[in-house]
Chains A and B, each alone.
Chain A
């Protein structure tokens, strides 16, 4: 009988124990894969949303923290205290294309939806949107809304129908083409209409800026700060700031996963220790037949490694299924709205799949070290005389 056959026979001899030990490592690795996939998706979405914003600079209220910068990417409600005069001062600086936004929230059928007040012509040119149905705003103060494609799909809305925002019924003029970003899940209103509905006078939440000369970004930032006293961040600074917030979430998720994996590892230790005691006679017979300590050690290491490999594969499958199913149901908050995203982010990351299976095997091998060492150091007399 070869070593591999012996390993397989030993593992499947006690099926119940095999199933429960495997279940332990499967659950541990599944939670590891779920959290890693979600964390990876979160980062990808942040990169995608920052790119979709299409801005080199973002003007935010003075003293805003990283969480307000995150709100720009998630489409959350934001304070509206940048005045029209301040926007005009920024526009007076040469070499800048300035597009203001009023970021608010409303609801359709009790489901929250992002509402964005925009300057129709300037935003269309800035974002390079396409219209997939109906028409775009014909004037800067038109009474109507244009929907992102995902919002239209989610609420089954079409041009000609209407939506109610802050108690006012507004006709749907058109639906934007897919952008792959948060814009897909947003309802757009002309800025004057949004300012009237949300009582924000002539204020906006933030402004996205594209610069003519990227080499002079620092000079533009300084000029805007001097002219308005508002906060200005470059797209890179914003990305850094938001990623640092998300980084802490990722660490928390990884710690939770680590606890599950460690618990599973102790399950393997327990199973292998029990196997060591139960199979003392078998070890003695193997030794009597000429098996060396190294062979006994390898036999037990292969057994625990097998648990890790199979548990890793099943854990990856369960983890990816859980991540795919759970992600859309994550309640909306500052951290998880990006995971929810617009649905285009993929959770299948080959790196995560391979590293998880490898990690599972490694954990199982480490967990098997002590039981294998205990089994290998048994003397033939001690092993064979065991009753």
Chain B
């Protein structure tokens, strides 16, 4: 009986550990619509999730992301809020759902989210 209790306990501990490990380092994931209107209210490193919309025409290292919720809005009047992201590495593709870890900083044009890490979750096939 003790052996069985041990197996059940080990299973439980395993599940808890798996949950802890997979959620480690991401903290609270914020949405574009939450951070976009007052970005400087967020200090330090945060993680933002959104959909890659396209590149800046003036600076190809900057791309914009919008809220995942907007994927559901199919009417012409959807007013998307974009967060500009600066990233030096390989950029995500248009339509990629991304989780970006980084921080907001002031630039002459306004505020930009400087990415430290980008994790592509999936592509939503929105073209572009």
Q: Is the CB of B69 within 8 A of A106?
A: no
Given the complex of chains A and B, what is the CA–CA distance between A77 and B41 in angstroms?
A: 15
Number of chain B residues whose Cβ lies closer than 8 Å to a Cβ of chain A: 31
Q: Is the CB of B28 within 8 A of A331?
A: yes
Q: Is the CB of A62 within 8 A of B77?
A: yes
Q: Is the CB of A65 within 8 A of B44?
A: no
B42, B43, B68, B79: the one within 8 Å of A61 (CB): B79
- Contacts A79-B79, A331-B28; A65 near B74 (Cβ below 8 A): yes
Interface residues of A in 142-169 (CB under 8 A from B): 164-167
Q: Is the CB of A107 within 8 A of B42?
A: yes
Q: Is B93 an interface residue (CB 8 A)?
A: no
Q: Is the CB of B34 within 8 A of A105?
A: yes
Given the complex of chains A and B, what is the CA–CA distance between A331 and B81 in angstroms?
A: 20
Q: Which residue of B lies closest to A60 (CB)?
A: B77
Contact with B along A189-232 (1 / 0, CB 8 A): 00000000010000000000000000000000000000000000
- Contacts A105-B38, A165-B38; A65 near B78 (Cβ below 8 A): yes
Q: Which residue of A lies closest to B5 (CB)?
A: A19
Specify which chain A residues have a CB less than 8 angstroms from the CB of B33 in the assembled complex: 76-77, 105
Residue from B29, B35, B74 having most chain A Cβ neighbours under 10 A: B35
A19, A77, A110, A333: the one within 8 Å of B37 (CB): A77
- Contacts A23-B8, A68-B73, A110-B42; A105 near B79 (Cβ below 8 A): no
| Chain B nearest CB, measured from A92 CB (Å) | 24
Number of A-B contacts (CB under 8 A): 86
Residue from B1, B29, B34 having most chain A Cβ neighbours under 10 A: B34
Q: Is the CB of A110 within 8 A of B68?
A: no
- Contacts A23-B8, A67-B73, A68-B73; A106 near B38 (Cβ below 8 A): yes
Q: Is the CB of A63 within 8 A of B30?
A: no
Q: Is the CB of B29 within 8 A of A110?
A: no
| A interface residue numbers (CB < 8 A to B) | 15-16, 19-20, 23, 61-65, 67-68, 76-77, 79, 81, 104-108, 110-112, 115, 164-167, 198, 245, 331-334
